[in-house]
Amino acid sequence: MRISTLALSLVLGTASVAYAADAPTAPASTPAVSKFTEPNLKPPKESGGITTSPMILEAPLRTDFVKGSATAPITMIEYASLSCPHCAHFSATVMPELEKNYIDTGKMRYILRPFPLNEPALKGAMLVDCVGEQNPDKYYVFSKVLFDAQSKWAYDANFMSGLETIATVGGLTKDQFQTCTGTTDREVKILKLKKQAEDDLKVPHTPYIFIGDEAYEGERTPAAIEKFIDKKIAEAQAKKAAEKSAQ
């Protein structure tokens, strides 16, 4: 069953989600069960700047779902938690502009990687990873809808019911949903990816973004990020030209 982000949003009542211009905050109610600790929002000294990590330089990895052209000069990698209000804000206000101006035009490809901060985000990441394995396009459809509908599922003690509603609207059966969100191997896979990001990249918070070979730590606005993207594209093109002339 093929279903668009808009169709899912309309059914779930999230087609016109409004976000504040400043940094959003989560509702007061939080999930009853959580085995995660919120990270310190102050970046550790080791984070930021140019990276030499294969996790970034050798992307896409086998576990990645890629949006955009394989021949794009640079790649943007975002670490996000599906229960993170800042990530939902970024998805709603920044990503549409980046998709239109860079991803859809072949200038940049995009990879969204899981960095769950709590149990709802972990189960959401397991769901989108599972549907992505069946249809890579659905990875981004479901991720977008989970961000848009965040207030309807992520902050409720009964968050699994909300996730199941989204999965059902998206074409999954009850058994398929339970398999996606109840498999130990998939849970270990997601948590392993998060730990690798913590250990190797020192990811300090979400959303955390790498553009090309560098962590982006500026303002999370379309104008500011596009200026940084243009710089990284120019660097990549200059490097490619230099390598070609040296041959």
Domains and CATH numbers, the chain: 51-246 (3.40.30.10)
Per residue in 26-69, pLDDT (tens digit) is: 444 333 333 454 444 344 445 569 999 999 999 999 999 999 99
Per residue in 148-196, pLDDT (tens digit) is: 999 999 999 999 999 999 999 999 999 999 999 999 999 999 999 999 9
CB-CB neighbours of 167 under 10 Å = 22
Confidence (pTM): 0.83
Of 49, 57, 62, 96, which Cα lies nearest the Cα of 204?
49
